[in-house]
Amino acid sequence: MTFSEPAPPRAVRLERLRAAMQRHRIDACVVPSADPHLSEYLPGHWKGREWLSGFTGSVGTFIATSSFAGVWTDGRYWTQAETELAGSGVELMKIPSGASLLHIEWLAANMAPGQTVAVDARVLGLSTARLLSDALSARGILLRTDIDLLDEVWSERPGLPTDPVFEHAAPFASTSRAAKLAATREAMAGLGANAHFISTLDDIAYLFNLRGADVSFNPVFLAHALIAPERATLFVGDDKVPPALRASLQADGVHLARYDDAAGALATLGTETTLLVDPRRITAGMRAAVGPGARAIEAVNPTTFAKSRKTGDEAAHVRATMEQDGAALCEFFAWLEATLQDPQRELLTEVAIDRHITAARARRPGFVSPSFGTIAGFNANGAIMHYRATAQSHAVIQGHGLLLIDSGGQYLGGTTDITRVVAVGEISDAHRRDFTLVLKGLIALSMAQYPRGTRSPLLDAIARAPIWAAGIDFGHGTGHGVGYFLNVHEGPQSISPSTAPDPHTAMEPGMITSIEPGIYRPGKWGIRIENLVLNVPAATTQFGEFLRFETLTLCPIDTRCMDLSILRADERAWINDYHATVRARLAPHVAGAAAAWLHTRTEEI
């Protein structure tokens, strides 16, 4: 058995970094929250921003100079960051969204001409690298991308994960690997490319019908892929692919190579190669590795579009998965209410919520893992958008108020993500008003009909309108794409005001997206209600094709929290229709206390 070396105090880590910067004549060091695949959730080896700063949120950029250290992150994480950075000497730099590039503006404004900024090109997105280079060069500031200072100062740095890769097999993988490769090659040819390099892990997992466990919550594995007309090369860690799977891949024309050989393979591409790369999904380091004779063209990865548009078979598996997930939630909420009403019970904590909800899902067929870390926030903690209870810091659920639970599961037949808010003890009229405004936002977007091809960010205002009407807003997007036994956050669609309404964000049939408006009152309570929805055909008229949302998530919405006086007749009808569907779909999967809870919580209003 081996033991990892404990991390030194944060002050020591910063001292090490600054000493290395001085040795290499670097004036500012940038550490993004990224790996060579630009992942949202990172293997431990690339959690350098977290190691240096102590901030554990999934989005943030760390910058250190000789006299300053800061983390740039958005409103979802401000409260968390303030707590985790307190006393560290690392400042919180507030930005409007995770896509913001204000740290680049800060560097351009605060560094002097002739100074050097360093960032590891292996974890720097190509599109971001171009913006950074342009901003710094305009001010006469040098950019160095050939060095990873973390390797020099992080002596206890974790190694790369070694978990095996496994096949996502039929019936859940309803499209063969060969068919997906053929479709990708057809899309490449349509763009004028005869080679295509992919680094994003969910694109690779989708294309090859493979899954892994290298990243927490996302069933993906570390790899790069190079697709050529006659064969595909998968660059993956040694011994991660079992012999039988290796033979199956070879039969489909997939050659395996060492993970570290990807850059070298790009360097050998010659003048006969026209290489397709996605500038938003490849690092500057990998782009720089491409041989000088090869011609590169830039476009969105074809797999990004393909995997977002679930097939009919995949949608059917997701519907079945939602029934199992909903049944697990019935069991959990029945237990929760019984526990809260038991005067002899032990104190219930937010940490216990995570444990029990995961255990309920684990009893369901096809369950693999949670799809993200459960958010269970009681009262004021619910107002922290990405709150995470820990053994060291959590609330006891007692007294009165609102409990927000945002959780999800990875199943062989789909990925789930749901948020519900439930009443604990007595709640106030103010609680009910906020809850109902959020519910009205959910219903408004759930009932929408819109032209096929509508750019997804434009739908955001539909959910916000009822909340805006009350003079309230919330600081996150309304919805994100969801994978099929893949990442709980995927593109290209995003229902968010911070996302540019570019053509690639168009809504198409088969896409699964969350709808999750909210209201957050710091120090008091937070409310978010979230369902997953599927884009399905609605109508074809002289004005074109129209889509609507089919609600996939199956779990009652707490009617005890509703202010019925501000619900319109059509909104009440939506709630009653939804609860009737939930009861009919989940009843065959539950019994006893869970069945009784389901019946009570789906009664008509």
Condensed to tens digits (0 to 9), the pLDDT of residues 371-398 reads 999 999 999 999 988 888 787 888 899 8
Beta bridge partners of 72: 61, 93
Residue 98 has pLDDT above 80, yes or no: no
**pLDDT, tens digit, for every residue of 26-56?**
999 999 999 999 998 899 999 999 999 999 9
Listed residue (572, 575, 493, 501) closest to 534, CA to CA: 493
DSSP category for residue 76: G
**pLDDT, tens digit, for every residue of 109-129?**
999 999 999 999 999 999 999
**Are 169 and 198 contacting, i.e. CB atoms less than 8 angstroms apart?**
no
Residue 1 has pLDDT above 50, yes or no: no
DSSP category for residue 343: T
Residue 214 has pLDDT above 60, yes or no: yes
Q: 309-601: CATH homologous superfamily? A: Creatinase/methionine aminopeptidase superfamily (3.90.230.10)
Residue 2 has pLDDT above 50, yes or no: no
End-to-end CA distance of the chain: 59
Its pTM stands at 0.92
Q: What is the reported pLDDT for 224?
A: 98
Residue 6 has pLDDT above 70, yes or no: no
The CATH architecture of the domain made up of 166-299 is 3-Layer(aba) Sandwich (3.40)
**Which whole number is the average pLDDT over 539-563?**
98
Kindly indicate the confidence band of residue 77, based on its pLDDT and cuts at 50, 70 and 90.
confident
Q: What is the reported pLDDT for 185?
A: 97
Residue 3 has pLDDT above 50, yes or no: no
Q: Which two tokens stand for residue 118?
A: 């360093």
User: Domain coordinates of the chain in residue numbers?
Assistant: 10-153, 166-299, 309-601
CA 187 from centroid of its chain's CA atoms: 26
**Which whole number is the average pLDDT over 167-180?**
96
Q: What is the reported pLDDT for 387?
A: 84
**pLDDT, tens digit, for every residue of 572-596?**
999 999 999 999 999 999 999 999 9
Domains 10-153 and 309-601 share a fold: no
Kindly state the percentage of the chain with pLDDT values over 70: 99
Query: What is the DSSP secondary-structure string of 560-575?
Result: GG--GGG--HHHHHHH
Q: What is the reported pLDDT for 345?
A: 75
10-153 in CATH: which number?
A: 3.40.350.10
Give the span between the Cα atoms of 267 and 274, in whole angstroms: 13
